[in-house]
Amino acid sequence: MSGSLGDLGTLLPLMIALAVQGSVHLGSTLVFSGAFNIITGVVYGIPLPVQPMKAIASAAISNGEDAPIEVVLAAGQWVGAAVLVMSATRLLPWAASAVPVPVVKGIQLGAGLSLIVGAGTSLLQPLHWTHPVLDNRICALFAFLVLVATQRLPRFPYAFAFFVLAVVSAVVAVVTSRHRLPSVHVWHPRFHLPRWVGPRGDAPALWMAIGQLPLTTLNSIIAVTALAADLFPDLPAPTATSVGISVACMNLAGTWFGAMPVCHGAGGLAAQWRFGARSGASVIFLGVAKLILGLVFGDTLIGLLKSYPRSILGIMVLAAGLELAKLVNLVPPVPPGPIETWATTSDWSDGPSC
């Protein structure tokens, strides 16, 4: 349960921002991403995350009203179609084998550092020291000190404990501000026709997809398969083709109903692993929770999620970035000596594959 919540620091800020400005439907996003979590956990047996497409989300948030829901959904479908073609034509396995290991590790390091910088600039730096009472820099410092103190307690449910604390804080913030708490609002699917081409013949969705495609290919497919092999050496690692087909199917299915474009990511896998996830059961649990929340409450959750403490989110993103960055050390430097000795030396049992 704790590990399943490890990726909330990436999911919540982007999902909330897109839902508030009307670029996606929160209910549809929760329902479809929850279903994808359940399917992913059953199929792969590892905590493979379902994350927002960060480049598309960033472009949509920065463009505001110029990125309506039809354009955002079309961008996700462009990426899904491109990844499906690459999977069907065996381009993804070729890319996975052709990209050198140091490049993959560099992608992981860059993603980890970007998470750390993002946590500091967008979540923690804008906070004040003492107000509001339940979301300030002192709260962030407390969360950070507990994170450090529990480094050698792998079974301590850090993410779960602070998630409960954050939800209580959000409820108190909503009640004291006299805003409405979530209410029962059964989800009704609404069909949306994506806007692949603009009214003037331009294609803003295509340009958003072009910015996302390299990130999806390298970080969400190639890097995540390499990271899965590092973190779970006793389990069969997902192939680049299967992960690519998974990304394609997710974005060619849920986007028709207003769901946020999603992918798998190395940062999310590292975050969930950092907070205790060791099997597909963690993402199945998360998927069931998201599915129930989406079906029962839907878009009425926006107010509560907007009040979720940024202090706790920021520390969770920071921890995920540090975990992803330090995993680069899982691949040791090439030792001296002839290649024949690598496979017979216990310290370098995986030398030839490096």
Within-domain flag for 56: yes
Place of tokens 């072009």: 210
CA distances from 201 to 77, 79, 205 (A): 18, 20, 12
pLDDT at position 66 is 67
Rounded CA separation 64/12 (Å): 18
Rounded CA separation 19/299 (Å): 8
Q: Shortest CA distance to 276 belongs to which of 323, 229, 312, 243?
A: 323
**Which pTM value belongs to this model?**
0.76
pLDDT at position 110 is 77
Within-domain flag for 233: no
Within-domain flag for 128: yes
Question: CA quadruple 73, 75, 77, 80: dihedral positive or negative?
Answer: negative
Rounded CA separation 114/136 (Å): 22
Within-domain flag for 332: no
CA-based R_g, the chain, Å: 20
Rounded CA separation 139/129 (Å): 9
* SS3 call for 196: coil
Within-domain flag for 99: no
Tens place of pLDDT per residue across the chain (354 aa): 888 887 777 787 778 878 877 889 999 999 999 999 999 999 999 999 998 888 888 778 777 666 788 999 999 999 999 999 999 998 888 877 777 777 777 776 777 787 788 778 877 888 889 888 888 899 999 999 998 888 787 677 787 888 888 888 888 888 887 777 788 888 888 898 888 876 666 678 888 888 888 878 887 888 889 889 888 888 888 898 999 999 999 999 999 999 999 999 887 888 888 888 889 999 999 999 999 999 998 888 888 888 888 888 888 878 777 776 776 665 443 334 443 333 333 333 343 333
Within-domain flag for 336: no
Q: Specify the number of domains making up the chain.
A: 1
Domain hosting residue 289, numbered range: 7-74+110-186+255-327
End-to-end CA distance of the chain: 34
Within-domain flag for 159: yes
Question: CA quadruple 35, 39, 45, 50: dihedral positive or negative?
Answer: negative
pLDDT at position 332 is 40
Within-domain flag for 210: no
Rounded CA separation 82/97 (Å): 19
Rounded CA separation 32/6 (Å): 19
Q: Report yes or no: 2 and 159 within 8 Å, Cβ to Cβ.
A: yes
